[in-house]
Structures are given as C-alpha cells and as structure tokens.
Amino acid sequence: MPNCLELLELARSGDAEGIVKLLREGCDPNVRDSGGKTPLHMAAGGGRINTTLRCLTMAPIQTLEIATVEPHYI
C-alpha cells in the first residue's frame, strides 16, 4: 500500500503525474494534513492548475470533499 500522505506533498509541489500514480495505486483522494486540507486544497490553493485538474478528474466525484475548509478571501 502506498504512503497516501505523500499525495499532500505532491499536490503542494505540483507533481500531477505523481498524484495520478498514487491515486491509481488506491490512495484516498481525501487524505488530510494536520490542518484538514486535502490534496485538492493544496493544489488549488497553490495555483497548480494541472495538478488541481488531475485531482478532480482522477477521483470519483462522490468521494471528493470539496467544501470542508473555510473559504479564503484575497
């Protein structure tokens, strides 16, 4: 079983292909860091467009928990 916490770092760094690999190996797309952020939050919050799209397209929509963190306003 892969280390699913690695998804968080891959999302933060923008490694879309690494995310695809771990999701195909069975990682939970909703793994969270200590602050409750998922890989989707990390990718979108960091402006990693391709990685954000991979997070959205690789996980079944029923499993994505999108609105779980308070919104951030710029």
Per-residue pLDDT reduced to its tens digit, 61-73? 555 555 555 555 5
- How far is the C-alpha of 20 from the C-alpha of 73, rounded, in Å? 29
Under a CB-based contact definition with an 8 Å cutoff, are residues 14 and 46 in contact? yes
What pLDDT is stored for residue 65 in this prediction? Answer: 56
What pLDDT is stored for residue 56 in this prediction? Answer: 86
What pLDDT is stored for residue 68 in this prediction? Answer: 53
Domains and CATH numbers, the chain: 6-63 (1.25.40.20)
The pTM of the full predicted model, rounded to 2 decimals, is 0.76
What pLDDT is stored for residue 29 in this prediction? Answer: 87
Q: What percent of the chain has pLDDT over 70?
A: 77
Greater confidence, 59 or 26? 26
From first CA to last CA, the distance across the chain in angstroms is 38
